Structure 1
Amino acid sequence: MKLLHTDKAVVGKRVLSSDTEPDDSDVLSQDLRARNHVLMPHHPGVIDQFVGPGLNHCISRFLGLEHEPISMVVGYDHDNDGVYLGLVDPTDDDWLTAITSGWWASPSEAEL
């Protein structure tokens, strides 16, 4: 899997988290955290918006975490080479694997 580059970053683009460990730092819901429903490695999301001058800071909404800070206010900046170190640009197969695995793949479980 390759990291997302600015030339591919557009609103609506499918992305995956490039985190290698679960991360609860930007999930405030104690209910979600208690069930370990936090940002996971290769967690699927969609670019929602860009803020700042030009194509700079992107906000991605992650499945099951749409109302948490990780999806509403915390975003990702690209480096000097135009690479978003926090986001992966998935292939169709990567995307399918990501949306069908993990706690977010079961709507009833994610909505508890």
Structure 2
Amino acid sequence: MQPFVSRSQTSLDTLDFIIKSKTRYDAFYKTELNSLLISLGIETLIISGVRTNLCCETTARRGFDKNYDIVFATATENQKMHEATLLNMEYGWAKIVTAIDVIEWLAHIGKT
């Protein structure tokens, strides 16, 4: 499994990250991710990755169940699986955006 990465501070000017390994598709499963996000006052999760239908979707669903707002910018090598996942998520509980949208949004909030 790939590690999840989360900002250790809310400032966009810092390069401090916390990197932890995970053992399941769900980045919340047996990790300190939820406690970390709560301690930082995080309310919105930006989920990005290359397996829309696996780790990204699983973590996004768990995040939604934990009352986080979900922004989803991902990809996968199978277009049909990718589109099916995005359709389900957009209908149910996630805002679907492009990676460019996320980059522009982060740049904007970094200036305020």
Fold shared per TM-score above 0.5: no
Give TM-score, length-normalised by structure 2. Answer: 0.29
Larger RCO, structures 1/2 (Cα 8 Å, 6+ apart): 1
Of Structure 1 and Structure 2, the greater strand share is in: 1
Of Structure 1 and Structure 2, the greater helix share is in: 2
Give TM-score, length-normalised by structure 1. Answer: 0.29
